[in-house]
Amino acid sequence: MQWYTLFTLILAVPSSAIVRFHCSQLVTQRLDPLVNPGLIPSSHVHQIVGGNSFNATMDPKKDMPGHSTCTTCQFGDDFSNYWTATLYFRAQNGSYKRVHTIGNNQFETANGGLTIYYMQDAIYTSNQSSKVTAFKPGFRMFIGDISARSLEQAERFRQLTYVCMDTWTQRAPESIHFPNRPCPDGITISQRFPTCWDGVNLDSPDHMSHMAYPETGTFESGGPCPATHPVRTPQVFFEVVWDTKPFNNLTWPVDENNQTVNPFVWSFGDATGYANHADYVFGWKGDALQKIMDTDSYFNSTGSGARLPLQTIEQMNNCTQAPIVTEDIDGWLTSLSGGYQSQYS
Ligand SMILES: *[C@@H]1O[C@H](CO)[C@@H](O)[C@H](O)[C@H]1NC(C)=O
Ligand SMILES: *[C@@H]1O[C@H](CO)[C@@H](O)[C@H](O)[C@H]1NC(C)=O
Ligand SMILES: *[C@@H]1O[C@H](CO)[C@@H](O)[C@H](O)[C@H]1NC(C)=O
Ligand SMILES: *[C@@H]1O[C@H](CO)[C@@H](O)[C@H](O)[C@H]1NC(C)=O
Ligand SMILES: *[C@@H]1O[C@H](CO)[C@@H](O)[C@H](O)[C@H]1NC(C)=O
Ligand SMILES: *[C@@H]1O[C@H](CO)[C@@H](O)[C@H](O)[C@H]1NC(C)=O
Ligand SMILES: *[C@@H]1O[C@H](CO)[C@@H](O)[C@H](O)[C@H]1NC(C)=O
């Protein structure tokens, strides 16, 4: 028995892994290799982060770390791609303007993007101890329903939420629709993926049914996985901060009864917020993610466990990709790219 094994047994120190790290913006464009593979342009605009081998097609056999020459993620071994739709503001005259993402708390100088968590147990506790199995090369998943416009349609998903920020630290409770008032310091969305895998399929036709939520309870409460999806994976969790500040002084639009309505709209037209969705294509190098989850890795791997190479924010920001689909996504637009208008039901 090696000395550290003995040490661990004596102190019963769990190997505790929760990582939180940022990935800067790689590219913003109309591509979606998961839902619309090969389609150029895809239906709506996405903001994408991660390895720069991102493309219109992403064959599950593709060697993502091998095909990338850089990544926008703080963990230099993470060549995964993570993406979400983009947000737009609709002015009272009906024109749209894109809302940009900004770096998150502790990643303020990042060029927009997403903050990613992988965790074993509940967020923000350092006593994580449950065993989780990292994803395999070729694994991908989607969460959310792009056609959801009502609470009933959105409720089957857990934890796809919005937080209205008065300041970084003063935050309204999470909601599953867009905030119904201006948010002085921006809107943060949270997107948590299911955590039970069928153990066989790297993907499925709806990109969701190879995954499931715990049968009872929640991931955070240690709820067991169903027999159909027995493999407990890390909780993948995105946080995206939308800089709504440039729009705070603009008048909100009104409906046909002159009632003020929410001005924020997803790039595919949803102005309710119920269609919040996220995409994930696994692309970590070798067993780097499993190593992180099996060792004492707190936040950015500063624990005593796996010490994987970290990039500086300058290096993360330096990795970018030119869009393949070139169209105006940043001017005042009369319709959203792909021809969408905001829909409230
Ligand atoms: C994307 O795919 C096209 C061919 O479909 C290829 O020419 C291009 O080099 C690829 N780009 C990247 C970044 O892999
Ligand atoms: C619509 O309103 C926005 C915000 O006030 C303004 O910047 C834009 O120029 C207007 N567009 C048109 C076509 O009037
Ligand atoms: C972990 O710590 C939190 C609070 O710090 C506590 O509520 C929870 O019960 C602990 N979980 C375990 C498995 O020890
Ligand atoms: C919004 O209005 C307030 C008060 O008039 C002003 O202080 C602030 O600079 C304005 N913000 C923007 C982004 O124009
Ligand atoms: C809405 O407001 C405009 C301008 O104030 C007014 O002309 C119009 O009659 C109002 N419409 C309704 C349905 O109240
Ligand atoms: C790691 O995370 C800690 C706490 O979140 C933070 O203070 C520190 O600056 C981070 N280190 C790096 C290299 O990002
Ligand atoms: C950014 O990229 C350029 C060109 O590839 C390179 O010369 C430079 O050293 C990079 N800077 C950092 C901080 O990685």
Inter-residue contact 317 to 49 (CB < 8 Å): no
Task: Say if ligand 6 is within 6 A of residue 175 CB.
Answer: no
Sequential DSSP letters for 76-90: TTB--EEEEE-EEEE
The CB of 167 under 6 Å from ligand 5? The reply is: no
Give the list of residues 6+ apart from residue 83 with CB closer than 8 angstroms, or none: 32, 46, 47, 48, 49, 278, 279
Report pLDDT digits (tens) over 135-144: 999 999 999 9
The Å distance, Cα 68 to ligand 1 centre, comes to 11
Q: Is the pLDDT of residue 5 over 70?
A: no
Q: What is the rounded CA–CA span in Å between residue 143 and residue 207?
A: 8
pLDDT at 13: 45
The verdict on the CB of residue 53 being under 6 Å from ligand 1 is: yes
Task: Locate the ligand 7 atom nearest the alpha carbon of residue 315 and give its number.
Answer: 14
Percent of the chain with pLDDT over 90: 79
| pTM, full prediction | 0.90
Domain boundaries, the chain: 3-318
Structure token pair of residue 309: 């190479």
Q: What is the pLDDT of residue 220?
A: 85
Ligand 6 centroid, distance to 300 Cα (angstroms): 6
Cβ–ligand 2 contact at 91 (below 6 Å)? yes
**Does residue 130 register a pLDDT over 80?**
no
| C-beta of residue 260 within 8 angstroms of C-beta of residue 253 | yes
Phi and psi of 318, rounded to 5°? -75, -20
Would you say residue 8 has pLDDT above 50? Answer: no
> Does the beta carbon of 93 sit less than 6 angstroms from any atom of ligand 2?
yes
DSSP E strands in 24-139: the ranges are 25-29, 46-50, 81-85, 87-90, 96-99, 101-102, 114-119
Per the model's pLDDT, the better-predicted residue between 106 and 81 turns out to be 81
Measure 304 CA to ligand 6 centroid, in angstroms. 14
Q: Which position has the token pair 């909780």?
A: 235
